[in-house]
Structures are given as C-alpha cells and as structure tokens.
C-alpha cells in the first residue's frame, strides 16, 4: 500500500446555504490541505436527495456550494472540484459496498436516527444507506485522508470498517489481481482545531445546521455585515464575564462556542483568546467577534455572489472536475470488478 499516493477526499451536501460550521469545521481545512495533498472536493448532490429536494433549488444549491468552495480559496485547477452525480462510479461502488456492509453496523448510525426522527418507517432507504454511499465516495478514489467536522466521525468509522471488511473478504482475489495485501487504504479522519463542532447561536446544546428553522441559529456564508452583526448580538450567552482560561468554559456551552468561533476565525487557540478577553463582558467580546467575522467573511461573501452569477464558469469547473475524477474512479471501479469477480 505504501506506493499509493496520499489523497484527500471530502464532500459537502448541496442542500442549502453553507454556514459558519461548514466553513470552520470543513472548508478552511480543505483550503489548508490543498498545499500538501492531491485533493478531491465534492458537492454531494446524491446525498442531498436522501431527503426531498426541489429540483430547481437543488441545481442552484449545487452551483452555490461549488462557488463557495472556490470563494473560500479552493483552487479548482490544482484540485478536483465536482458534483457527485456526474461520476456514476460513486453509486456503482456503493452497490458493491452495500453487499459488504452489515445491517447491524448501519443500525448504530446516530445521524440516521436523528434525521429520520420518530417516523422511521417513512424515511427513505437512501437516508438509511447514506453512510455506505459516503464510504463509496471516499474509497472509489482510494483516498487516504478525509477532513470533516466532528458530526461525521461515526460515518468515517463505518467507512474504515467497510474498507477493512472488503480487504479481508476478498484478500485472496486482491492478491491474485496483483494488489498485494489490501486494495482499499483505511481512510484517516482529519478532525482538528478549535471549531470541529460549531454550535447553534440560539442553543449551545445543538449544532449549527442548515436545517435549523431559526436563521438566527447560524451565520450563513451568504449573510451581509448587518446580518452577521445582528445574529452575533442576539446570540445566547450567560450573565458572567468571560473566564481567563479554558477550564472556566466548562458548563458554559454558549461561551465556549463563541470563543471557539473567535479562535478559529483568528487562527488562534481558545487559551490565547481567553488570555486577551478573560474578564471582559460579553458585549465587548461580541463587538470584537462581529468585527473579526465581518473582516473574514465579507470578501468570501462578495466573491460567492460574483461566482454564483457566472453559471457558465461554475458549470465548467464542475464538468472539468468530473472528467478528471471519472478517470481515477473508473480505473478503481474496474479493479473492484476484477476483485469481486464481475465480468467487464
Ligand atoms: P454538511 O453540510 O452536513 O454536508 O456538512 C459538510 C461538512 O461540514 C462536514 O464535514 C461536516 O462535518 C461539517 N459541518 C457541518 N456542520 C458543522 C458544524 N456545526 N460544526 C462543524 N462542522 C460542521
Ligand atoms: N456526509 C457528509 C455530511 O453530511 C458529506 C459527505 C458525503 C462526505 N460523502 C462524503 C464527507 C465523503 C466526507 C467524505 O457532512
């Protein structure tokens, strides 16, 4: 396996506005990793349709997510930026992996339980099978590293289990086909930094999410300076001043969240931020956070707006990315077919 290149894969759903959680938990990491790795960044539209989507909005949101990647600094020439449904091999490999993954493993997935809610019988089979498609997204490129937010940790563990079971189940055939001891690398999750789980601005116990009904719960990357200021001003806090060390954030989820957001945006640690703001009241800290957020996000927002209007350019990026992705995916899919014993 040591001869395989190190390769990064990650995906973001095209199901609505991207927000500060997506940006700090995932996209800023994508931008850093492009310096040292070959990276594929995918807008996962096949994942989005596991819950109902309006076809016209879905198309627009796929373009918007791609425009966001580029506006945040992902270079689509150096990396492969594409939408999942243009590379049929993701779905093709997912079928093979469906026959490797076990129902017992999927039954443990907490995200399915949360998303399906009480009416589980009525959830789509796609929603249940979602983690297997996610494993296929990663493994079809034999990717080695996967930057994600904390909420995807369990899905990554499943992808690792599927890779290992495939390697074990087909060990003899893998060797016979000249791939040595294993075919799929066991992908490493990259979950790090002060904002791997950005929480709702209205409730420190809930993660910031596209699907929260309150727009005040999140900062969208499309928000303007006034919206950002209003949302931060209204963000829930507690009555005490900021503590001067991280231990003092324990049991204060809203304070912890705002300090984490500040640290991540400033490229500093929480300890460092508290060294400066410890003892300050929230109104002073919120003003500093508003200035920092606007300074960091305004250039991204305006570039996103510009790119979203240039449909031809964005569609061109996605088409070019899909063509390059397909070359890698087809070669690996052919190898999988040989290993499994499917004629081609
Ligand atoms: P999604 O919007 O669910 O497709 O998520 C895309 C990426 O953003 C994944 O890597 C998630 O783990 C990450 N992400 C989503 N919400 C948050 C959050 N509130 N905090 C940190 N990372 C997040
Ligand atoms: N499930 C991820 C999310 O909702 C998105 C995703 C799909 C993904 N396929 C992936 C992330 C592969 C990393 C790698 O956030």
What tens-digit pLDDT sequence spans the chain (344 residues)? Answer: 446 789 999 999 987 789 999 999 999 999 999 999 999 999 999 999 999 999 999 999 999 999 999 999 999 999 999 999 999 999 999 999 999 999 999 999 999 999 999 999 999 999 999 999 999 999 999 999 999 999 999 999 999 999 999 999 999 999 999 999 999 999 999 999 889 999 999 999 999 999 899 999 999 999 999 999 999 999 999 999 999 999 999 999 999 999 999 999 999 999 999 999 999 999 999 999 999 999 999 999 999 999 999 999 999 999 999 999 999 999 999 999 999 999 99
Kind plus residue range of the DSSP H or E element containing 126: helix 125-139
- Tell me the residue ranges of DSSP E strands in the chain: 7-13, 38-44, 80-83, 145-147, 188-190
- Spot the catalytic one: 77, 78, 113, 210: 210
Other Cβ atoms less than 10 A from the Cβ of 114: the count is 9
List CB contacts of 236: < 8 A, sequence separation 6 or more. 201, 202, 203, 204, 254
Distance 289 CA to ligand 1 centre (A): 21
**129 and 166 together in one domain:** yes
C-beta 131 within 6 A of ligand 2: no
In a domain, 209, yes or no: no
Burial of 269 (0-12, 13-18, 19+ CB in 10 A): middle
Indicate the SS3 state at residue 207. strand
In a domain, 202, yes or no: no
**227 and 143 together in one domain:** no
**319 and 191 together in one domain:** yes
pLDDT at 115: 93
The CATH code of the domain that includes 179 is 3.40.50.620
In a domain, 204, yes or no: no
In a domain, 1, yes or no: no
In a domain, 151, yes or no: yes
DSSP character at residue 21: H
User: Which residues span the domain enclosing 84?
Assistant: 7-196+311-340
**70 and 105 together in one domain:** yes
Total structural domains within the chain = 2
pLDDT at 16: 74
pLDDT at 289: 98
In a domain, 201, yes or no: no
pLDDT at 3: 63
**44 and 181 together in one domain:** yes
C-beta 135 within 6 A of ligand 2: no
Q: By the 8 A CB rule, do 144 and 7 touch?
A: yes
Other Cβ atoms less than 10 A from the Cβ of 256: the count is 19
Q: Name the pTM for this structure.
A: 0.96
Distance 296 CA to ligand 2 centre (A): 25
Distance CA 235, CA 64 (A): 26
**138 and 34 together in one domain:** yes
Q: Which residue's C-alpha comes closest to atom 3 of ligand 2?
A: 12
Distance 146 CA to ligand 2 centre (A): 9
- Spot the catalytic one: 64, 165, 206, 207: 207
**181 and 301 together in one domain:** no
Nearest partner of 86 among 110, 116, 59, judged by Cα: 59
In a domain, 189, yes or no: yes
Active site residue 210: yes
In a domain, 56, yes or no: yes
**138 and 271 together in one domain:** no
**25 and 104 together in one domain:** yes
**260 and 281 together in one domain:** yes
The CATH code of the domain that includes 230 is 1.10.240.10
**186 and 172 together in one domain:** yes
Q: By the 8 A CB rule, do 195 and 263 touch?
A: yes
**55 and 184 together in one domain:** yes
């Amino acid at each position: 396996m040591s001869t395989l290149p190190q390769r990064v894969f990650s995906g973001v759903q095209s199901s609505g506005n991207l927000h500060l959680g997506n940006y700090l938990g995932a996209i800023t990491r994508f931008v850093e990793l492009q310096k040292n790795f070959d990276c594929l960044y995918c807008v996962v539209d096949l994942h989005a349709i596991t819950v109902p989507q309006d076809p016209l909005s879905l198309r627009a949101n796929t373009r918007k997510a791609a425009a966001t990647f580029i506006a945040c600094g992902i270079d689509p020439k150096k990396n492969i930026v594409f939408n999942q449904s243009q590379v049929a091999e993701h779905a093709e490999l997912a079928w093979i992996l469906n026959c490797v993954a076990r129902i017992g493993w999927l039954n443990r997935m907490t995200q399915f339980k949360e998303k399906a809610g009480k009416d589980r019988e009525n959830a789509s089979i796609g929603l249940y099978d979602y983690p297997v498609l996610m494993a296929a997204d990663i493994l079809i490129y034999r990717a080695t590293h996967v930057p994600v937010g904390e909420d995807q940790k369990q899905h990554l563990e499943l992808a690792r289990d599927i890779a290992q079971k495939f390697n074990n189940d087909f060990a003899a055939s893998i060797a016979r086909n000249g791939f040595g001891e294993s075919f799929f690398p066991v992908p490493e999750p990259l979950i790090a930094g002060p904002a791997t789980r950005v929480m709702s601005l209205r409730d420190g116990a809930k993660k910031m999410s596209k699907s929260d009904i309150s727009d005040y719960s999140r900062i969208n990357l499309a928000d303007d300076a006034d919206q950002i200021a209003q949302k931060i001003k209204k963000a829930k806090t507690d009555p005490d001043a900021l503590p001067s060390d991280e231990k003092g954030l324990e049991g204060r989820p809203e304070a912890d969240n705002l300090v984490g957001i500040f640290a991540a945006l400033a490229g500093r640690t929480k300890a460092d931020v508290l060294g400066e703001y410890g003892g300050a009241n929230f109104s002073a800290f919120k003003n500093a956070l508003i200035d920092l957020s606007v300074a960091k996000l305004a250039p991204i927002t305006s570039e996103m707006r510009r790119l979203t209007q240039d449909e031809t350019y964005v569609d061109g990026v996605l088409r070019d990315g899909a063509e390059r992705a397909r070359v890698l995916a087809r070669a690996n899919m052919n190898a999988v077919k040989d290993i499994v014993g499917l004629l081609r």
